[in-house]
Chain A
Amino acid sequence: MVSDNIKSDPDSWVNRYADKLYAYAVSRVGSVEMAEDMVQDTFLAGLKSLASFKGNSTEYTWLVSILKRKIIDFYRQKANRSTVSIDAEETRFKQSGSMIGHWLKERGPKAWDNETTAKIENEEFMKILNYCIKMLPDKWASCFILRVVEEMPGSDVCKELNLSSSNLWTMLHRARLQLRDCMEVNWIKN
């Protein structure tokens, strides 16, 4: 009596979805090899959990949700591997005296002139921004990418990376200090 019209057809997956999933993954992990592996893993995980595909969503949406999970796992592992801890406070701010915690004069943000601001559409700017994000220590990068780039809710990022919310603010603070410095050094002086 139950009609089984909710069908999933794994034999057609590669033809129908591989390119789309691949593009999605590349734009999020920035590595073509990693993206290829993720697409394959997504299909394999899909095969295993075929039974859980209820047909409430399209097959594609369902596969994307599996891929998203893989992307989060990728950043979580990256964050866990990372042991780098550079103290943002020490390198940029005064460590003693009445102005403790204030910018060291030579490390204070320099003015980016108007011309610079107008170049926001510039490809070079975007290239350097991507480079600077990649240069962040893994742990900060994972926080920053999941929260700011992926726009995942902060509470979810905390859960995935096993951080308290104040940990997360600290990581993002450090990532932003670092990112701004990197942009100033690599782009503004160009």
Chain B
Amino acid sequence: MNTKGKIMISCYESTYLISKKQEDSLSLAEKVQLSMHLMFCKYCNRFAKQTNMITKSIKDMNRKMKEQSVNITLTQDQKRRIQNAINKQQNNK
């Protein structure tokens, strides 16, 4: 999306910049456009706040999952199946 040369951007453009800001740095012009928009738009302020919260929750969730996932294990049956597949491939060599 190209917002170059605009003073006032729309909410569609503003939410795009809010999303992009989470991934990449904005250009100076984009920063000015976004902060001017956020000065008066309550919807986009909410969007920014809620979207940030969602991203943060995902990061927290990942961290937690990486710690907890150790508890998930395969059953003996599943392991046997995998072992059989390995044996089969080795014998085919």
A-to-B contact residues, CB < 8 Å: 10, 13-14, 18-20, 22-24, 26-27, 36, 39-40, 43-44, 47-48, 88-89, 92-93, 99-103, 108-112, 117, 120, 125-126, 129-130, 133, 147-149, 154, 166, 169-170, 172-173, 176-177, 179-180, 183-184
Which residues does chain B contribute within 8 Å of A18, judged by CB atoms?
A: 74, 79, 82
Closest B-chain residue to A112, C-beta based? B50
Q: How many residues in B have their beta carbons less than 8 Å from beta carbons of A?
A: 46
Which residues does chain B contribute within 8 Å of A100, judged by CB atoms?
A: 10
C-alpha spacing A166/B17, complex, angstroms: 12
Can you report 23 A-B residue pairs in the complex whose CB atoms are below 8 A from each other?
A14-B82, A14-B86, A19-B74, A20-B70, A23-B71, A24-B69, A43-B82, A88-B12, A93-B10, A101-B12, A102-B10, A102-B11, A103-B44, A109-B47, A109-B50, A111-B46, A129-B54, A169-B1, A173-B16, A173-B20, A176-B18, A176-B19, A183-B50
Are A23 and B85 neighbours in the complex by a CB distance under 8 Å? no
Partner of B82, one of A40, A89, A111, A183: A40
Residues facing A in B15-72 (CB within 8 A) are 15-16, 18-20, 22-24, 41, 43-44, 46-47, 50-51, 53-58, 60-62, 65-66, 69-72
Are B57 and A166 neighbours in the complex by a CB distance under 8 Å? no
C-alpha spacing A84/B38, complex, angstroms: 31
Which residues does chain B contribute within 8 Å of A48, judged by CB atoms?
A: 89
